[in-house]
């Protein structure tokens, strides 16, 4: 398994360095790694083999070695692994020195709030997709959901851009989420064909 750092993390690094917040970025990076470890542990417990993991500004992107054989229940638990790890991290922070605990808890809460937002590519979106697989396996529903994710991501990006430079950090984050949502949208036909294949295999 390969673990990589996404290129869009670099602007965030320079932003933290120039603003004198290197220690704060170290907390953010540690929180991201902890969050992603939750996904990887969930995948290991579900017996799912991981090809690569790319650390992003909001968490990570996991690529399975053979996604066609991953059950929907495993997809659900893997998506839940990150938020569960973040919640555990918040609990552990209460046992740390107060100054470190306060910053760590704030970062973890922001990370959790962002990731549970129910749009692709966030964890909330992955959880919702797994739910669709289990409870409402309709290709049309998946297509509508990709539309909704791209629309919401576009709105969030425009809002943060309207309040620059105060929202520079959020703008970079929303830009990354928008790019990922656009990528999912561009590949939706292949995704939908794959999801249709999986649904036919499960029924």
Whole-angstrom Cα distance, residue 185 to residue 175? 15
**Domain coordinates in residue numbering, the chain:** 2-202
Is 31 in contact with 83 (CB distance < 8 Å)? Answer: no
Whole-angstrom Cα distance, residue 131 to residue 133? 5
Pairing of strands 60-64, 2-5: unpaired
| Rg, C-alpha atoms of the chain | 17
pTM: 0.78
Pairing of strands 50-55, 60-64: antiparallel
- Write the pLDDT tens digit of every residue in 48-96: 888 888 777 666 778 888 776 788 888 899 999 999 999 999 999 888 8
Whole-angstrom Cα distance, residue 174 to residue 114? 10
Query: For residue 117, how far is the Cα from the chain centroid?
Result: 9
- Write the pLDDT tens digit of every residue in 137-187: 677 777 788 889 999 999 999 998 998 877 777 787 888 888 888 887 777
């Amino acid at each position: 398994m390969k673990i990589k750092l996404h290129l869009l993390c670099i602007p965030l690094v320079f932003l933290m360095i120039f603003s004198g917040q290197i220690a704060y970025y170290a907390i953010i990076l540690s929180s991201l790694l902890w969050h992603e470890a939750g996904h990887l542990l969930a995948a290991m417990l579900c017996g799912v083999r991981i090809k690569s993991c790319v650390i992003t500004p909001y968490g990570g992107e996991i690529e399975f070695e053979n996604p066609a054989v991953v059950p929907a229940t495993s997809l659900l638990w893997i998506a839940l692994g990150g938020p569960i790890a973040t919640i555990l991290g918040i609990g552990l922070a209460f046992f740390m020195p107060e100054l470190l605990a306060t910053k760590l808890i704030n970062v973890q809460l922001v990370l959790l709030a962002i990731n549970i937002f129910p749009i692709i590519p966030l964890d909330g979106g992955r959880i919702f997709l797994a739910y669709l697989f289990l409870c409402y396996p309709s290709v049309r529903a998946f297509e509508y959901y990709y539309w909704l994710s791209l629309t919401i991501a576009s709105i969030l990006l425009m809002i943060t851009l309207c309040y620059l430079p105060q929202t520079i950090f959020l703008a970079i984050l929303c830009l990354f989420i928008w790019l990922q949502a656009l990528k999912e949208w561009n590949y939706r036909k292949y995704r939908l064909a794959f999801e249709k294949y999986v649904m036919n295999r499960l029924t």
